[in-house]
Each structure stands twice: as structure tokens, then as C-alpha cells.
Structure 1
């Protein structure tokens, strides 16, 4: 129907968007939290007032110290064994599928508040939800589709996120180009070699123009995790020994405390007992006492947020501090960009390897790439940007909308599919 708006939904690890687009028209992002066009992919279940908070309100309630359960990076759970488990949320237990559905329901309500209630939607998906496990990857897509279906969507299509970013960028192309799309999201990194042109933009079926797509389960939260492990977790006991010098503290407690979607699994009586026992044996019990504070005050995500803030600061600065200050605990750890890059060199190498794989799959040399399209918040990290562009000294580097281009491209795709 002429004038009908079609919806594309980008459910991201860190942020999410919805775009609306009419056939042949320009896409626009729908405000999803007040006037904001993006919303943090976060939930907070308050034990104080029984309310459920979404997005920035969820982050505020948690950081402000309200008693409750904070959930973030839920997309990272798709396809994993955690999807089969339930977790305590307030006075009830919910599956992670229900939690993802609760967040998607908020986005559906934003559509309805804007006078739109489409039954069809194009959802973005990474090239790989799960590396090297096709069954788990397919299961992840099915889980996301089921969560969206529970909110009222009846016709659900998927588009690869780097392809969606290319569709949005293509609107400004005046001649045919061969482009590499580099999409570094919160939980995954995706790469696609695509033919773009004004003529091709009018074609619905673009499969022949997508020469390759590769992806790795590496994203912004992985950079946060390794920076946290390298710079902060030693202050909580990582690498410390027992008093008799015979054993090091078990590593997994600290790895999980540094991993966004694992933090909530630590808030159990058993983990509290484990850490209390380790503190009695520790050569540096004061460090384990800090870990006890994180558990008792559910401060793990506040620590992760402080690490993320420092990571962002290192985009423009050569050094900064990671600071966590709250009643009962005050820490500040200096960190340099060089230290951050040393801690994350393996992640950058995996991104570089996936770019090489995209070129090989497309059967094109690096000098054939005329444009590199960068999108996603992780593309701002200097070492990542260098890894993404160094192979292409003669290419135009196009910095697309870091948080909106995928959603806008999904809107364009929806208008073409559903018109």
C-alpha cells in the first residue's frame, strides 16, 4: 500500500534501534526512549518498587544503587547453553528468551505509540551468532525470531547486519563501487564485500551483489572484558596466591566478573561462600574482600561500565584511569592505550583474519576495494580502525552512522521486501 511504513529492527548487544521506511522513500529512525533514537539494550528489575526499567532508565537505576537485577548484553546469550536456563529476576524466575522478549516488547510498544503496528519486520543478525557451530548459530536465529514473534510480529525476515549497513550507505553512491563493510558491534564483528551502484540499489534481490560475508564473535564487550581482566581483576585477586604459596586463585571467578553477560550468574549464595573460603586461604585477603564487595553490592556491571568508559576515553587519549567509587570501595587504576592494545592484540588479529577471509571468499585482491564502510561503536577503537583500513591505502574510508546505519538499512530492506 502506498505510504505504508515498514519496520527494520536492530537488536544490538549494546544498543538497539528501529527504523521505518516507505517503499522508495528514505528511512528514518524512530525515537525509542524519549527523544533518543537509540536505546541501550538493558533491563533492570527493581526490588524496591517492583518495576521493570528499560534502556537508559535501567542503567540509571542500577548505577544509582537501587536494589534489583540488572541485565545487559542479552544478545550474547543467544545460541548458548544459558538460553535453556532460568535466572532469578525479583521474586520470579525467567528464561533468557523471556528476558529478550521483554526488551523487544518495549520496542514493539514504541512502534505502536507512533501509530505503527506492523506484523512484518526485518531483524538484523550477525554473520555468526556463534563461531564454528552451525547448529548453535541456527538455534540463535530461531530464538531471536521466537522472542520477536511473542511480541506480535508474525512475518519475520532476517538480514545480515553488514549488508544492511551497505544498503544504507548505497543511497549516496553515484557510480558502481566495490565496498568492504566493517561492522564492529558490541558482541560480534561482521564483514562483507558488496557491489554497490545506483542501478543495483533499485533491485530487490541483491544476492548476486554480496560477494562474501564473514564474521567472528568478537565485539566491543570483548575489548571491555580483556581490559577489565588485565587492569582491574588483579585488584580483586586474579593472579594472587594462597598464603602457603602453593596455589593461585581460580581464574574463572574473575573472568566471569569481567564478562557482561556472565556477571549476574555470580550473585548466588554459593559463589559468596566460595569467595569467603578463598579469602581465608589467600596471601592477599584484602583483594578477595573487594571481590566480596562486588558480590554483596551487585557492583559487577558498575565495574564493567567504568572499564567501558576508560576504553572509550582511550580512543582519543593515550592514557586514562579506570575508576570505581561507591560506598565501601574506591579504586583507580591507570591504563595506557599501549597497555589496552597489548591486552586485546588477539582480538584485533581475529578481526584482521576475518577481513582476509572476506577478501578470499569474494575472490578479490585488497586493491580492488574502492570503499571501506566502517560502522558500529567498536570501529572507533584505534587499533581496530587500523586493522580494518591498513590493507586498503587507496580506498575511500567512509565512517557510517556508528549506531544507526544497520537499523536504517534494515528499514530500507523491509520496505523492499514487504511492499
Structure 2
């Protein structure tokens, strides 16, 4: 590497919730400001039907909340490895492949980075989760292959990958003064990824770090899953979730599940789904909740509600209680949420994360007492119940935290400089 010259290549952290672009330049921070002065671009596209144009990031969320007619698409990364990826969706009266929507967003990241850099980028290191898809190597490889095709279609000539937690490890390595055995815990919007890495100041500039990576692992659980469980347990009961039919059976849950899951919210607006819901109403014991559900669907307020729940989850990393006003749906309606409710709701998910970490240590032949540091990154890594569960697993390890939204992008920039000069 030539440290006195800007890197030829960039690194892109395409995240489920937020994305960043890193580019190493002498004397400058590695992360590029993508929207105003902010280093993150929310992974959101809003197709503004009134003006027949797509908008991205915070502006997309703003136009949606301002009430423009259109369609909001978020958690785009969740498409990778899903059955939706090979299908189309209807936009402005025509069919658009979901891969083209991915291309629009990734193209924005490329264009904004190039505008700031005042030069084109032809090589890129893309971050990827350890597993796009759990327990399905073929689907996982298909997800990576799709991302390569999309990246080349938008103008990259050379595309390579680095695991996101490994990239975070390389960012953390810039800060240490001695050798450490570090467990990287990256809790993003869609996945939880782990790497066990030996880091040291004298190893920072080595091109080959294969022997320093002792193990990688992960599970398809992330912040959007925490949002979903908080919604189902704390909000959706006000909309009939868990209610009973006149037959004493539980009310079908597909509409609530779709509303609590970012990339399926639009499904509840389909005519067929609404007809099924209206037919169901005649057989519901207490129609209070389902009638609120109709109001929410009529207002197309599913994404608005999901954003409110996400904000509550973030607040509950610090606060014990949070009131969610649903005045928009019904005067005086409030969902009372708490840190303990969130913890109970996500306990099964945390157990799966802990099990995955235990498997990782066993695979590496490393005892919990040998871990020097747990380094947290990813937007959902600050959930107190998550920290507590990992501390119980690794009680002697020091806990450290980098830039929760920027460590991966910075690490990918370091990797891009090593690979492409």
C-alpha cells in the first residue's frame, strides 16, 4: 500500500437499515458523507408516484411521512436470499424486478461517493454477512452472486467481498496497543454476525490475515427482528393480535405478522388481503382491534407504525418505559412499552444468538476465559438484554464499542486499499 495516496477502491457496507461508503484518503476520516453531512444513508427507497421519481434515504422517509402518494421500500438487503428476489413488483403501472430496485439503491451509494471523491470507482469491496441465509449454502451463494451482478450492472468492474465482522475487526485494530483475542459481535438490521480474530498493532498492514481469523459464524437475526417482536408483543394486541374468533380459535395472524415485518408491510394493502380481513370480521368476538386494523390499513400507515416501533426500541436501550401514541389511529390510543417487555419479547432470539456464539467458540477450540475483548458494532448492538446475555456467556471479557454504524464501512475501506491499492 502507498499510504500517501488516496485508495483506488472504496468499500461499501450495504446494510439492512443503514449503508455507508468508506474510502481511504491521507489525513481524512474514511467514511464519506452520503446525505448532507451524515455518513449513513438509510437503506430506503420511496417511489414518489406524484412526481414519478425514486428518492432515497432520509429524504425518502420525509416524503413518505409528508403524505406523498407512493410506495416505500425498506430493509432492501432482506431481499437477498429470499424468494422475492427472483420476482417483480408493480410500480407506476409496470413491473420492476426486485434486483433493479437493489441496483437503484446501490447505484445511489456509488454516485454519491463518486460525486464527493470527484473520481469514478471501478473496484469495490462489499461487506456481506457471514450467512445471507441460515443453513442453505446454495441460497447463500445465490445471494452473493446476485449482489455481484447488481454491482457490475451499476458500473463496478472488480467486485470482492469481506465478512462484515472481519471488516469491523480491522477498524477496531487501528485503536489497540497490544495483541488481543477479540470476539466481534455485529448486530445489524437483518443478521447477527460474529468473528473470532487475533489482532495486533504490528499486523495491521499485512495483506494476508487468514491465520488470524480463528472462526466466523452468525445467525439470521437482527434489529428488524427485535422490532417485529416488540410490535407483536406490545402494539399489535391493540389491533386484534391474539384475539379470539367466535369459535374460540385465535384470530389468524398473517396481517399482523406482515405489518410487523418491514419488507412485507405492503402485502396488507393488497385487495385480496383486505377482502379476507373484512370477511373475517363477522367471526371475531371483539371487533375493536380489527376495526383499528382497518383504519391503519386505510391510512396505509404500516410503515409509519413500524418506524414508531423502531424509535421506541432505540429509546428503550436507555429508558425503562416508553409510551407510543397511536392518536393517528384513534383518539387517546397509546401503547405502553417497556424495557422488560422488549427483553421478554426477544428472549428466544437472544437464546439463539448465544447458542450461535457458543458454537463459534467450540468450533475454534477457544474457552470463554481466553477472550480478551468483545467488540460490539451494528445499530442494534446496544440493546441492554443483548449485552447482558453476552456478558453472561463471556463474563471476563472487556466490552468495547466502536462507531455502531461506521465500523464496518471503515474496515471495508482498509480492506479495499490493501486489495486494490
TM over 0.5: yes
Residue in 2 that maps onto 1:77 = 79
Q: Which runs of 5+ in 2 are unaligned?
A: none
How many pairs align?
A: 417
C-alpha separation in 1, matches of 2:162 and 2:331 = 45
Moved more, 67-76 or 386-395: 386-395
Distance 2:331 2:220 in 1: 33
Q: CA deviation at 1:228?
A: 0.5
Equivalent pair of 1:351/1:387 in contact (CA under 8 Å): no
Change (3 A) 1:19 1:205: same
In the alignment, what sits opposite 1:54? 56
The verdict on how the C-alpha distance between 1:386 and 1:12 changes in structure 2, with shifts beyond 3 A counting, is same
Distance 2:119 2:320 in 1: 46
Check if 1:162 corresponds to 2:192: no
Structure 2 residue aligned with 1:128, among 106, 128, 131?
Answer: 131
Match of 2:122 in 1: 119
Cα offset, 1:26, TM superposition: 6.7
Select 1:381's aligned residue among 383, 394, 400. Answer: 383
Taking the aligned partners of 2:207 and 2:333, their CA distance within structure 1 comes to 54
Deviation of the 1:246 alpha carbon: 4.0
List structure 1 runs of 4+ shifted beyond 4 angstroms.
Answer: 24-27, 327-330
Alpha-carbon displacement from aligned partner over 1:135-183 (angstroms, at most 9, x marks no partner): 1111111112222112111100000000000000101222111100000
Q: How does 1:246-261 map to 2 (within 5 A)?
A: 246-261=248-263
Specify the alignment match of 1:320 in structure 2: 322
The reply on whether 1:137 has 2:136 as its aligned counterpart is no
Q: 1:312 to 1:205 in 2, by over 3 A?
A: same
The structure 2 residue matched to 1:292, chosen from 291, 294, 315, is 294
2:12–2:127 Cα contact (<8 Å) kept: yes
Match of 1:40 among 39, 42, 45: 42
Q: In terms of mean alpha carbon deviation, does 149-158 or 281-290 score higher?
A: 281-290
Give me the whole-angstrom Cα distance separating, in 1, the residues matched to 2:250 and 2:373. 49
Please give the alpha-carbon distance, in whole angstroms, between the structure 2 residues aligned to 1:25 and 1:127: 32
TM-score (norm 2): 0.95
- Name the residue aligned to 2:12: 9
The secondary structure found in structure 2 opposite 1:325 is coil
Please point out which of 341, 344, 354 is paired with 2:343.
341
Residue number in structure 2 paired with 1:171: 174
Secondary structure, counterpart of 2:247 in structure 1 = coil
5 Å-filtered alignment, 1:14-413, equals 14-22=17-25, 28-114=30-116, 115-242=118-245, 244-326=246-328, 331-413=333-415
How far off is 1:355 after superposition? 1.3
When the two chains are superposed, the root-mean-square deviation of aligned CA atoms in Å is 1.7
Shift of 1:80: 0.9
Distance, in Å, in 1 between the alignment partners of 2:132 and 2:331 is: 36
Gap runs ≥5 in structure 1:
none
| Conserved? CA contact 2:296–2:329, under 8 Å | no
| TM-score normalized with structure 1 length | 0.96
